[in-house]
Chain A
Amino acid sequence: MTRFDEALRDFAAANEDSMRARVGSDASHELTLHQLGKARKRRAAVQATATVAAVAIAATGAWYLSGAPNTADPVAPNTVAPDPEAPVATNVDTIAYLGDPLRIDEPAFACGVPFPLEAGVNTTAADLVLPSVTQDLAYGANATAPLDLRPGGATVATENSVMIEAFARWRSDEPVSWGTSTYAVLVDGQGNVVSRSFGFYPAGQTTAGDAPMQYMFVPDSCELSDEFIVNESSDSDALNGTFGVHIVTQLWLDVPSTPVAQWVDVGLPADAQITIDSSTLEAELEQAHRTADEVRAAAEAAIERSGESLATVSGPAIAKWGWSCKLNLDLEEVGTGGISAMPVDMPAAVAILEPTKVTWTYAASEGAPWWAPADMFDVVYLDANGEFVSMAQGGVGERSEDAGTVTLSADLRTPGPECGINGVPTEPGTYQAYATTDLAYFGEGEAPASLPVPAGFLRVLVWAPLGTYTVP
């Protein structure tokens, strides 16, 4: 009888020829070399501006988290008014998948080609028929599933970012999985794509959904924007000028990769435009840097008051390593500074259960002005002098909530080889261990006293001492 692993290897081998044709094609090869060239250029530029880039990561990452325009930005937002028209409603008796939904990475969105779609609903009721592969879902052939898309708005929060809100609303008799994807492009005066971005997609399983879609737009010339790697903006290819904005929104109901409907420019007025002036970006980064310095100073003061040693809790190198490995960035891309370490004042208890397993218990902070992705945390090990020794990367842990208390248990692993650092120390000795996680603070005027963060939003590194860790 065929073993599962053998069958899987045979299946992988059977796909080698077709994948060789794809990966080894001239187009794919050239694209890779082009990306490699740009990455090398960016790396050289980033090495010269590493500190500024780190600040950008902190500020814009938190902007992304905040779900709101950058109120701390000194530049007043320009607002693109929502379309005053009534909701776009498509009554759907039956539902089908779009034949060929567009993807942002398809040639239709390539740099230099005209944006391919007209504004409006790209799917009509006549196009929607019941998918045969979802017979176990609540939809029946005669069920009515009204599918609306309410106009939202697009706000130009600064010269270099766009907040988009649109709402996909649908109903059915029983919960069905759903989700959305959003693409955005900038076009030049000739209607050709000059930049593009991919928004993240809320998803859920419910009988009705309102799905606001938000994402930022970094004005890199025809680069897919990664929400973290904002130092792309230091690339010399940054755009300047006035550009048209288009948005493509897709909705899937049960198969994530297969949208059932697609809308173009919903929520945007006709001829929506955005003006980008890269010179202002530098001023924004400088402002972000100043803000980060203030936060760091406040954090260090708080740490001093707490009696902790600054040398052991705020070393920039530690923040650098922790973040670089967590986000899978090159060390040089992160640099130092911009991300502050501070003690957390959540009611918390952290314990090492065994060498490679940690639990973290804290009170659920409902309504608190911060958000802690506490299913991801790392452990940093320092020597007796407070010098960094090693870091173990915590995985996505087992999470449980009971009466407002969150308990998290995660295994530790050695970071990937590209991080160049070890995991749990194995050399004999006694180490000081700290659990770390990142915390996004996005409140305004409501910070608890324990979080000496100015109004606005920033990401900070949170520390919790674990005690000593001894390897005999």
Chain B
Amino acid sequence: MEQIIEDLYGAAAGRLGAYGYMLTGSQAAGEELVQAAIVRVFVRKRHLENVAQAESYVRSTMRNLHIDGLRRERSWRRVAGRQIDAPVADSSAALEGSDAAARALAQLPPRVRAAVVLRYLDGLSVREVADEMGIGEGTAKRYLADGRAALGPALGVADAQDPAEPEPPVNVIVNGSAS
């Protein structure tokens, strides 16, 4: 297992780091996310065939860690009882670099940024983004629209549209309700 970790660093450090950066908006926080995911994945014995599989696993774990972190942070901030629709306090480091895209990415609300990464980097559908993040589909669409509006100009995309998606089929029946 130690060898596959070494191979993972050699082959995928840049890709995983960039993914962490995109999720968090901060190089430092992105680096931490990679570290945390590697620890989480390799703390137990796993049968990983090759580096590509390990990379996929670490990437997936990064996503889950990040989303669950956002979820937990939201919960605890509610405990504090001080939150009044303010921007989420991003614990990431100061803005990396000075270019417009980096600045726009860093200034996105964390949940909006996560939705954008899941949709446009990971290629998930809007429905899947909502599922992954544990939010409603309407909320996901709003996050994505906000993200496109904020990032599009900085990325040189004048009119960032998202194609509409069909509704998934419903194929089970539910009985009973209320307590």
- A positions within 8 Å CB-CB of B: 1-5, 7-9, 11-13, 15-20, 22-24, 28-29, 31-33, 35-36, 39-40, 43, 64-65, 67, 103, 105, 177-179, 181, 200-206, 209, 211, 227-228, 252, 255-258, 327-328, 330, 348-352, 354-356, 371, 373, 375-376, 393-398, 409-411, 413-414, 416-418, 424, 426, 433, 440, 464-472
Best-buried of A17, A39, A201, A411 by chain B (most CB within 10 Å): A411
Q: Does B146 contact A (CB under 8 A)?
A: no
Among A103, A258, A376, A471, which residue has its beta carbon within 8 angstroms of that of B173?
A471
Contact between A8 and B151, CB atoms less than 8 A apart: yes
Q: Does B126 contact A (CB under 8 A)?
A: no
Query: B interface, by DSSP: helix, strand, loop or mixed?
Result: helix
Interface residues in B15-62 (C-beta closer than 8 Å to A) = 15-22, 26-28, 30-32, 34-35, 38-40, 42-44, 60-61
Query: A interface, by DSSP: helix, strand, loop or mixed?
Result: mixed
Given contacts A8-B151, A395-B133, A411-B130, contact A23 B31 (CB under 8 A): yes
Given contacts A4-B148, A16-B15, A204-B86, contact A396 B74 (CB under 8 A): yes
Contact between B121 and A12, CB atoms less than 8 A apart: yes
Given contacts A36-B42, A205-B84, contact A413 B14 (CB under 8 A): no
Complex Cα spacing A413 to B133, Å: 9
Among B119, B136, B160, which residue has its beta carbon within 8 angstroms of that of A411?
B136
Tell me the nearest residue of chain B to A413, going by C-beta: B131
10 contacts between A and B (CB under 8 A): A2-B156, A4-B120, A19-B31, A33-B5, A36-B43, A105-B28, A257-B91, A395-B131, A411-B136, A470-B174
Contact between A43 and B14, CB atoms less than 8 A apart: no
Contact between A375 and B75, CB atoms less than 8 A apart: yes
Given contacts A204-B83, A227-B76, A395-B135, contact A23 B34 (CB under 8 A): yes
Complex Cα spacing A7 to B92, Å: 23
- B positions within 8 Å CB-CB of A: 5, 9-10, 13-22, 26-28, 30-32, 34-35, 38-40, 42-44, 60-61, 64-65, 68, 71-72, 74-95, 101, 105-107, 116, 119-121, 123, 130-139, 148, 151-152, 155-162, 170, 172-179
Given contacts A7-B156, A40-B43, contact A257 B92 (CB under 8 A): yes
Q: Write out the residue numbers on chain A whose beta carbons fall within 8 Å of the beta carbon of B160.
A: 4
Complex Cα spacing A2 to B28, Å: 29
Given contacts A256-B89, A328-B64, A413-B134, contact A467 B175 (CB under 8 A): yes
Given contacts A256-B89, A467-B178, contact A330 B9 (CB under 8 A): no
Among B86, B121, B138, which residue has its beta carbon within 8 angstroms of that of A203?
B86
Contact between B39 and A32, CB atoms less than 8 A apart: yes
Minimum CB–CB distance for B122 against chain A, Å: 10
Given contacts A17-B14, A350-B179, A413-B131, contact A8 B120 (CB under 8 A): yes
Complex Cα spacing A383 to B87, Å: 43
Among A256, A354, A373, A467, which residue has its beta carbon within 8 angstroms of that of B170?
A354
Among A5, A29, A105, which residue has its beta carbon within 8 angstroms of that of B9?
A29
Q: Write out the residue numbers on chain B whose beta carbons fall within 8 Å of the beta carbon of A256.
A: 87-91
- Nearest 7 interchain pairs by C-beta: A467-B176, A395-B134, A19-B17, A20-B14, A202-B82, A16-B14, A24-B13
Q: Write out the residue numbers on chain B whose beta carbons fall within 8 Å of the beta carbon of A200.
A: 76-77, 80
Among B13, B94, B148, which residue has its beta carbon within 8 angstroms of that of A20?
B13
Q: Write out the residue numbers on chain A whose beta carbons fall within 8 Å of the beta carbon of B20.
A: 19, 23
Contact between A8 and B71, CB atoms less than 8 A apart: no
Contact between A469 and B175, CB atoms less than 8 A apart: yes
Minimum CB–CB distance for B172 against chain A, Å: 5
Complex Cα spacing A349 to B179, Å: 5
Best-buried of B16, B32, B82 by chain A (most CB within 10 Å): B82
Contact between B18 and A39, CB atoms less than 8 A apart: no
Among A103, A328, A396, which residue has its beta carbon within 8 angstroms of that of B135?
A396
Complex Cα spacing A394 to B162, Å: 26
Complex Cα spacing A317 to B72, Å: 22
Contact between B84 and A418, CB atoms less than 8 A apart: no
Tell me the nearest residue of chain B to A440, going by C-beta: B79
Tell me the nearest residue of chain B to A66, going by C-beta: B79
Given contacts A349-B179, A354-B174, contact A371 B79 (CB under 8 A): yes
Q: Write out the residue numbers on chain A whose beta carbons fall within 8 Å of the beta carbon of B10.
A: 24
Contact between B65 and A375, CB atoms less than 8 A apart: no
Tell me the nearest residue of chain B to A348, going by C-beta: B179
Among A179, A393, A465, which residue has its beta carbon within 8 angstroms of that of B89?
A179
Among B30, B134, B138, which residue has its beta carbon within 8 angstroms of that of A410?
B134
Complex Cα spacing A431 to B110, Å: 37
Complex Cα spacing A227 to B137, Å: 31
